[in-house]
Amino acid sequence: MQKQAHSSKVWFITGAARGIGLSLARQALACGDSVAATSRTLASLQQAFGKSSERLLALELDLVNEASVQIAIDKAIATFGRIDCLVNNAGYGQQGTIEALSDTELRHNFDVNVFAPLHVLRHALAHLRARRSGHVFNVASIVGFQGGYAGWGSYVASKFALAGLTETLAAELAELNIKATVVYPGPVRTGFLSKDTLVVAGRSIADYSEAQSSLDLHLNGLDGKQAGDPEKVAKLILQAASVPEPPVHLFAGKIANTLAEQKMQAVRQDLEAWRGASDATDFTEKRCWKRAN
């Protein structure tokens, strides 16, 4: 891993009142950086950080409201003069089988997990582009890379979308000297799986027993026992922000690394098993031969 001396940065972090976002904001402040920390309520930020300071700007933000996003970005720029590191961290888990999920449940999950980050990007990238500098971090999940979990289709799809979006961003922004990284944490010990945070579909279908077993496991077996340490995930993001050539794909935790390797192996097996049939779907080039006189 490359290392370079720390220079003061300005961070814009969504979902900064808890979990990875909170850990990242606190560590950035401890490093001497400035942070625009956002959450749905100002009270949650005040509870998390206490009094504001010259280097902390607490912003109440409705991420699904584009006007609210624009106001927050403008306030951050007006306060600190720039944004160096943009972190789309806010999101929530939606559980439920594809058949059982309602259109409203699906769309709201995508509004928060996909379209809200797009709001932030649209209004922040112009500032980064003008300075020809910056780093975008989109916090996905290992399920945005390896998605084979019954009952989590909406959440998985939203995180796959965020990962694909980041790959495109990295290609678009390269000529502007702006970096883009998708972070794939494994299970992290935050409030993500608590009954107060995880959203469960209003409808369930008994035939989908695997989905129900997965829900029971996550709520009753994994909540509060996840292997990932949010403080260490935040430190990893800070490390990635400090090097001249950061990764596009940043996996966080042993479980994430193992699942990523399993996914890549499974894809390789499918690719090789079907390579002949796949290659055969191309047009066959016709060659014309002239007979010698």
- Digit-coded pLDDT (tens) for 38-82: 999 999 999 999 877 899 999 999 999 999 999 999 999 999 999
Edge-to-edge strand order for the sheet containing 178-185?
56-60, 34-39, 10-13, 85-88, 134-139, 178-185, 249-252
Strand pairing class (85-88; 94-95): unpaired
Q: How many other β-carbons are positioned within 10 Å of the β-carbon of residue 46?
A: 14
CA distance linking residue 17 with residue 103, whole number of Å: 29
Per the domain annotation, does 211 fall within a domain? no
Report how many domains make up the chain. Answer: 1
Q: Is the dihedral of CA 160, 164, 167, 172 positive or negative?
A: negative
Q: Could you tell me which of 237, 213, 224, 214 has the C-alpha nearest to residue 187? A: 224
- For helices 19-30 and 42-49, angle between their N-to-C axes, nearest 10 degrees: 50
Per the domain annotation, does 281 fall within a domain? no
Say if residue 220's pLDDT is above 90.
Answer: no
The catalytic position among 92, 149, 155, 184 is 155
Per the domain annotation, does 285 fall within a domain? no
The predicted structure's pLDDT at residue 227: 63
208 in active site: no
Q: Could you tell me which of 91, 112, 100 has the C-alpha nearest to residue 197? A: 91
- Strands, DSSP E only, in 211-285? 249-252
Q: What is the CATH number of the domain that holds 186?
A: 3.40.50.720
The token duo for 44 is 């949650």
What lies within 8 Å, CB to CB, of 261 at 6+ separation is none
Percent of the chain having pLDDT more than 70?
A: 89
The predicted structure's pLDDT at residue 284: 87
Per the domain annotation, does 279 fall within a domain? no
For residue 20, give its domain range. Answer: 10-92+105-190+228-273
Q: How many residues are given for the chain? A: 293
- Digit-coded pLDDT (tens) for 149-183: 889 999 999 999 999 999 999 999 999 999 999 99
Q: How many other β-carbons are positioned within 10 Å of the β-carbon of residue 8?
A: 11
Element (H, E) at 74: helix 66-80
Element (H, E) at 78: helix 66-80
Q: What is the mean pLDDT of the chain?
A: 90
Say if residue 13's pLDDT is above 60.
Answer: yes
Per the domain annotation, does 200 fall within a domain? no
Per the domain annotation, does 41 fall within a domain? yes
Per the domain annotation, does 247 fall within a domain? yes
Per the domain annotation, does 269 fall within a domain? yes
